[in-house]
Amino acid sequence: MKNLLHSKDLSKREILSLLDRAEEFLETVHKRKRLKLADGKILAALFYEPSTRTRFSFETAMLRLGGEVISNEGMNETSSAKKGETLYDTGRVVSQMADIIAMRHPEPGSALELVEGARVPVVNAGDGPGDHPTQGLLDLFTIRRALGRLDDFTIVMVGDLRNSRVVHSQCELLMNFKGVRFILVSPEALRLPRSIFKELSKKFKVEETDHLEAAITGADVLSHTRIQKERFSTETEYKKYKGVYVLTPALMKKAPDSMIVIHPLPRVDEIDMAVDKDPRARYFEQVENGVAVRMAILAELLGL
């Protein structure tokens, strides 16, 4: 593994190896320690689109490994990109200083351009609606920790399946496993892109519905995402779904005791705060898991 660019580049062996490594780092994260593993190494965080949460997660991961960070969350505003520099040149230049690069960018495929120039490993920290492989990996990590496996389980994906890069990354990564049953819950207008749907359907049992309550009764994992009003063409269409996909304590009563709820955060109102206390809610725990997974990715790519 030289870079981590896209979820579909990862083999099952690579995924499991990263998750195993993350398992080891989780204790460091829980105990809030700093290792010496990455001593002297520098991470460059290049964010062409703001994402404080993801940036903080990468930076925390690097610091807990013992490394250092140089960082810019406003690359689109302040960097040479504005003067017309290509991503190729930026990759080339930054890799003369840093030992590894994490990039967030609004354009799908931008990570590939940076990699061409870079002389050090690059991690895709989200490129537009395309992919967010480190988030997908931490979701798998959370699932495996809860269920003990990544095969033979039922995942209910709910919300804006069309535009959520997190959902897309989950699908791509789960393609490496077997016996996964997908129940896709979304408004008609926000269905999973047909290309991903077809790919999934070749290997797995995939159902589409717009009814959340029925779907969760047999779920092992509920993967929730935010629905944005602006995605709908009419107010009527929006109102039809507004509230239907809000996860409430009442709805949680219909779900199995062993089901877990994951969500990439931030949430707005799609999960009632009263659900936070439910032990099945794992979205805050995912933040800690995310640091461990990113430690594993950075350590792996740095050859530590």
Site for a copy of itself (CB under 8 A): which residue of 9, 14, 23, 68? 68
Site for a copy of itself (CB under 8 A): which residue of 73, 139, 172, 220? 73
| Nearer residue to a copy of itself within complex by CB, 81 or 189 | 81
Catalytic residue among 13, 31, 32, 83: 83
For the question of residue 90 being annotated catalytic, the response is no
**Three-state secondary structure call for residue 92:** helix
Site for a copy of itself (CB under 8 A): which residue of 11, 12, 27, 78? 78
Contact region for a copy of itself (CB under 8 A) — 38-46, 131-139, 184-192, 201-209? 38-46
Q: Cis peptide before 266, with omega less than 30 degrees from 0?
A: yes
Site for a copy of itself (CB under 8 A): which residue of 20, 27, 39, 188? 39
Given a contact cutoff of 8 angstroms between Cβ atoms, the answer to whether 147 and 220 are in contact is yes
Helices (H), the chain: 12-30, 52-65, 75-78, 87-94, 110-117, 133-147, 165-174, 194-203, 212-216, 235-241, 249-252, 285-301
Catalytic residue among 6, 41, 55, 132: 132
For the question of residue 83 being annotated catalytic, the response is yes
**Residue labelled with tokens 């997974």:** 293
Segment 280 to 299, residues that bind a copy of itself, using CB under 8 A: 284-285, 287-288, 291
Site for a copy of itself (CB under 8 A): which residue of 2, 12, 24, 97? 97
260: closest CA among 304, 214, 224?
224
**Residue 243 in contact with a copy of itself, rule: CB under 8 A:** no
For the question of residue 12 being annotated catalytic, the response is no
The token duo for 223 is 């993967």
Least Å from the CB of residue 5 to a copy of itself: 21
Q: How far apart are CA 109 and CA 119, in angstroms?
A: 18
CA torsion 209→214→220→222, rounded to 10°?
60
Amino acid at 293: V
Catalytic residue among 2, 12, 53, 211: 53
Residues with Cβ within 8 Å of 235's Cβ and at least 6 positions away in sequence, in order, are: none
For the question of residue 263 being annotated catalytic, the response is no
Given a contact cutoff of 8 angstroms between Cβ atoms, the answer to whether 161 and 207 are in contact is no
**How many residues belong to the site for a copy of itself (CB under 8 A)?**
54
The token duo for 221 is 């994992």
For the question of residue 21 being annotated catalytic, the response is no
Catalog residues that contact a copy of itself under the rule CB under 8 A: 32-34, 39-42, 44, 50-53, 55-57, 59-60, 63-64, 68, 70, 72-75, 77-80, 83-85, 88-89, 92-94, 96-99, 226, 265-269, 273, 276, 284-285, 287-288, 291
Q: Annotated active-site positions, please?
A: 53-54, 83, 104, 132
